[in-house]
Structure 1
Amino acid sequence: MTMAAAGFRRYGGPEVLEVMRVAMPAAGAGQVLVKVEASSVNGGEIAQRRGKLRALARVSLPRYVGIDFAGEILALGPGVTEFSIGDRVWGTVDERGSVGAAAEAVAIDTGRVSRMPEGWSAADAVSVLAGAATAVVGLRDKARLRAGERLLVRGASGGVGSVAVQLGRMYGAHVTALASQASEQFVRGLGAAEVIDYRTSLDAIGTYDVVFDTRGTDLWRLRQHLAPRGRMVAVSFDVDRKVRSLGGIAASSIFGGRRIRFFLGHPTAALIGEVARLAEDGHLQPIVDEVYPLDRIGDAHARLEAGGVHGKVVLVVEETASGAVD
């Protein structure tokens, strides 16, 4: 039995993406098989599709895309007792692996899945999950953001930044958003007390206790805007200047106390469950920029690459995606 899955057979622009026919996975021991209803497009996938990450991680082609998913459990693998068939769940695949979530189904370890927030649609869920899991770890665990501190969120209107603004407000910080002028009202609506145009010179942006950066460029310059005991968390790096960008992160741990903390999120079921509770308690709102069917995966990637996205570009997965090829 086969299913539809989106991916690419060669590196390049959005046009290299296609919907292929692949074997339907089966739930192994400790896994559940999930019928995927929605996934989303993430910046790391675009860099990988362009071939920008080949020097850092060798991958085989074809490569399948999609990190987060939301849907319904179709089958339980041996030893699974905490879920039932029909449960509505959300989760993430391992972005370092070969499996993609932009597909009709995924077989996933129970340690990477949790029940969806009550009352949320699959599209709403994937607009928040990956960004929220990243922002919780970055702000709470890495930066140890405290109430009353000044927080700068760079890239505040995007999929991760928009959730970081909401969480910063929840944690009691004074949130400043670095975003486009066109996004000012949007990020203020999420909880930003101040908004700075991203074209403003970094020399004029002020001083902060915590900087949360989603862009990965000019990290060393941004570090100069930390207060004496400030902390900076970067969830991306400049893929066009990998050595310089990663070198600056490493050097920050040697020279002075204003260390740049860089990490890649690998959410656990406990963290995903915590994000669900935050959503159900009203601390997080879904932010869907635009929705595309799976067979328009190329258009979805092009939308994110064009910029100006508020929240997430979402893919909805029909039971049988049209346009699939063998």
Structure 2
Amino acid sequence: MKAVQIMSFGTADVLRINDVDRPAPGAGEVRVAVEASSVNGHDVIVRAGELKMVSGRRFPIGVGLDFAGTVAAIGAGVEGYRAGDRVWGTVHPRQRHSVAGAAEYVVVPADRLAHAPADLSSAEAAALVVTGSTALIALRDSVRLASGERVLVRGAAGGVGTAAVQLAHAMGGHVTAMARDRHAEILTDLGADEVLDYRSTTSERIGPFDVIVDTAGTELHCYRSRLAKGGRMVTVGLSASALAAIAASSVHGSRRIRTFSANPGTPVLRDVADQVTSGALRPVIDSVYPLADIAAAHEAFERGGVVGKHVVTVPRSSL
């Protein structure tokens, strides 16, 4: 089968589409025929060598945190799935994989899967696996958004941002989206009550907010100051400066900056599917690339300025 692998750390040109053995599911595992994956920040920083403690330095390293497709084979002890079932899921972000979601087949534990929403194509499903899970955990579990609260979403046009705008709106929040002016129409359509251009809006001129969801990982101390009394802030845009701001906030005040590593298992994936079925959440796709062009998808992700996700489709044995 074909699988995208990192052969050395570096820019997108280190990605290779290699012929590898098709993996067999062990006890408690499922083999999925992958139809689509997406490009996530995790994939890019692993490729760049910024997560060596997780990925290790032994090559090749698999690419693709998430996937959507159909069940191809089931290991001993797995219940609830049959061959041909449409599923979505993730590989474990803190484990090393020689084959991951950007491949014709992937094997994962059954507790990292759920049935995909029936009304979504595999490309649409792949666009929501990580983004929908991250946004749901951030709003529901980390900051516990309540109806009527004022919410700021920074980086609102990205994958997690577009999901957060939708879910915050569905949860009854008054949503302010921060992005580029040209993205105002689609963000309003997704549920934003107000859209601010991040290039011309300074933190001192906005707020206060009950909740801030940050995907940028910059100027966190400035935006933290815009929290109302009892306000909560969560960031999923981690960097050295972000980690410093998170640490400082836990020492110097009750309005600490929260963060987490999204690692969705079956329960969260089911909850995201329920949000899709209810109409509260829909995928937003910026562009779709065939697996053969995954390097171009990584380059587009790194350029930024997108609305939603870059999705990679996996045609069967066509490379």
TM over 0.5: yes
Q: Percent identity?
A: 45
- Counterpart in the other structure of 2:30: 32
Aligned runs of 1:90-129 on 2, under 5 Å?
90-99=88-97, 100-129=100-129
8 Å Cα contact 2:65/2:90 also seen in 1? yes
CA distance in 2, matches of 1:224, 1:57: 36
Take 1:290 and 1:136, find their aligned partners in 2: how far apart are those partners? 23
User: 1:205 maps to which residue?
Assistant: 206
Equivalent in the alignment of 2:169: 169
Q: Whole-Å Cα distance in 1 between the matches of residues 281 and 171 of structure 2?
A: 12
Structure-2 residue corresponding to 1:287: 284
Offset at 1:245?
A: 2.5
Name the CA distance, whole Å, in 2 between partners of 1:46 and 1:234.
18
Question: 1:18 touches 1:297 (CA, 8 Å); kept in 2?
Answer: no
Q: Could you list the per-position Cα deviations for residues 48-68 of structure 1 after superposition, in whole angstroms to 9, with x for gaps in the alignment?
A: 222233478644332211111
**Counterparts in 2 of 1:269-284, with a 5 A limit?**
269-284=266-281
Gaps of 5+ in 2: none
CA contact (8 A) 1:196 1:205 kept: no
Q: Distance in 1 between matches of 2:36 and 2:54?
A: 29
Separation in 1, partners of 2:256, 2:19: 46
Count of residues paired in the alignment? 316
**RMSD of the TM alignment (CA)?**
1.4
Residues 209 and 227 in structure 1, CA contact (< 8 A), matched pair in contact too: yes
Moved more, 32-41 or 228-237: 228-237
With normalisation by structure 2, the TM-score equals: 0.95
Contact kept in structure 1, 2:124 and 2:285, CA below 8 Å: yes
**Aligned 8 A contact 2:55 2:61 in 1:** no
**SS in structure 2 at match of 1:23:** coil
SS of residue paired to 1:37: strand
- Match for residue 137 of structure 2? 137
Q: Tell me the SS of whatever aligns to 2:251.
A: coil
Describe the SS at the equivalent of 1:254: helix
Letter in 2 for 1:231: R
Measured after TM superposition, the shift of residue 235 of structure 1 is 0.9
Q: Distance in 1 between matches of 2:4 and 2:105?
A: 11
In 1, the alpha carbon distance for the partners of 2:255 and 2:290 equals 44
Q: Is the 8 A contact 1:228 1:257 kept in 2?
A: no
State the distance in 2 between where 1:262 and 1:299 align: 30
Q: Does 1:220 align with 2:209?
A: no
Mapped partners of 1:192, 1:145: distance in 2: 15
Q: Secondary structure at the match of 1:125?
A: helix
- For each residue in 1:55-110, what CA deviation from the matched residue of structure 2 results, as whole angstroms up to 9, or x when unmatched? 78644332211111110101110011211111111111112222310011111111
Secondary structure of the corresponding residue to residue 300 of structure 2: helix
- 1:124-145 deviations in Å (ceiling 9; x for gaps): 1011121111111110111010
Which deviates the most, 186-195 or 54-63? 54-63
CA contact (8 A) 1:213 1:233 kept: yes
Q: CA deviation at 1:247?
A: 2.2
Structure 1, unmatched stretches of 5+, are none
Tell me which amino acid in the other structure corresponds to 1:34: V
| SS of corresponding position for 1:95 | coil
Say whether residues 1:317 and 2:318 are aligned partners. Answer: no
Q: 1:296 — aligned with what?
A: 293
The equivalences for 1:230-249 within 5 A come to 230-238=231-239, 242=240, 244-249=241-246
- Determine if contact 2:54/2:94 at 8 Å carries over to the other structure: no
Distance, in Å, in 1 between the alignment partners of 2:185 and 2:226 is 25
SS in 2 for 1:106: strand
8 Å CA contact 1:295–1:321 kept in 2: the answer is: no
Find the aligned partners of 1:148 and 1:169 in 2 and give their Cα distance. Answer: 10
